[in-house]
Amino acid sequence: MSRLRLCTIFLLSIVSNYIGIVSSVSRFDDKTDTPIIGVLAQEISWRLDQIWPGVYESYIAASYIKFVEGGGARTVPIWIGKPRSYYETVLKKLNGVLLPGGGTWFNQSHGYAVAGSHIYDIAQEMNDNGIYFPLFGTCLGFELLLYVSNENQEYRTYCSSQKQSLPLDFNKDFQNSRLFGTAPESIIDILKNEAVTPNFHSYCVTKENMTQFGLDKKWDTLSTNRDFKGLEFISTIEHKRYPFYGVQFHPEKVLYEWIRNRNISHTEGAVASAQYFAQFFVNECRKNDNRFDSIDEENQMLIYNFPCTFTGRLNSTFEQSYLFERDIDYGRGNGENEDITVVLV
């Protein structure tokens, strides 16, 4: 064998080993660079149902889809009203789930809260079995995370925080958290000193709620705020054990909602801080290596299969919405006869 050929084989061996090492490190640090995140649908809003009476069964505000995409991921809609087996199947293909805000009853059969309860339980089981599976809840989704943690029992307090943009009042040890521990100091400064977190909620979670129902044993409070009447409420949480996170405010509105007179900040600092939450959650989802069985299956389930409607011009609180019709199956299945008791948000 010639010396040239030996040298070539030797170099190829070195390159192959190097690629193997780099690949293994990459898989360990970031298990996927193409994350796909589920976004839970919910019952059609009252306002949208007034525009199209009886036509649509569920919807997803497009700002939540864009929030995930802006963080570097793609999205799959997760349907309400399906049996637990559906959620078990779909979560095994996804890298995380976003529970969006909105306005719906928690006690509707086959609705948002029932689906969210299944998702929470399955995600908890997956993490217990060594599969890193993140959840992120916004506003109503934030409240749902705690609601499910409270055995599907009501725990919240009425408050007045509609169209209220605020800086965060961080807890003393907030930088020991996963959510803020690696945040750039510039982002912390913005969140601490500028009114960049828009709030739209009639219920609040207080420290007293957390203590009374034992939720403080499962969740860490990272920040608080005060509503228009001075009531202190919790604005940011993360689970002590699982990669579950919740914000009472709306970072997606800062980036993608432009309805006038909503008191939503769109300053450079507001956009940078809102983008931080999107990138943080997507990066958490990169740690999960779930996959679809095929590219065809993946393509069939992506949100790109559905049209997006300009609802902002129709007096909706959302600029754009994905609307899902009542008479289209969407692979829903028959659902289960389950009820969760609570009240409207």
Residue 250 is among the residues annotated as catalytic for this protein: yes
Indicate which residue of 110, 139, 201, 285 is catalytic. Answer: 139
Indicate which residue of 110, 201, 239, 250 is catalytic. Answer: 250
Q: Compute the C-alpha angle 148/176/119, nearest 5°.
A: 20
3-state secondary structure of 171: coil
For residue 311, what are its two tokens? 């609802």
3-state secondary structure of 242: coil
For residue 267, what are its two tokens? 């300053």
Strand order in the sheet with 232-239: 74-78, 36-40, 97-99, 135-138, 244-247, 232-239, 219-226, 169-170
d(CA 173, CA 185): 15
Q: Residue 283 to residues 5, 16, 26, 70, 286: CA-CA distances in angstroms?
A: 44, 28, 13, 12, 5
d(CA 334, CA 16): 51
Q: What is the largest CA-CA distance in the chain?
A: 86
The number of angstroms, rounded, from the C-alpha of 48 to the middle of its chain's C-alpha atoms is 22
* Strands 169-170 and 157-166, sheet pairing: unpaired
> Which H or E element spans position 16?
helix 3-29
DSSP letters for 98-167: EE-----BTT-TTSHHHHHHHHHHHHHHHHHTT----EEEETHHHHHHHHHHTTT----EEEEEEEEEE-
Count of alpha carbons within 13 angstroms of residue 72, beta-carbon side = 14
Residue 139 is among the residues annotated as catalytic for this protein: yes
d(CA 270, CA 197): 8
Which positions are annotated as active-site residues? 139, 250
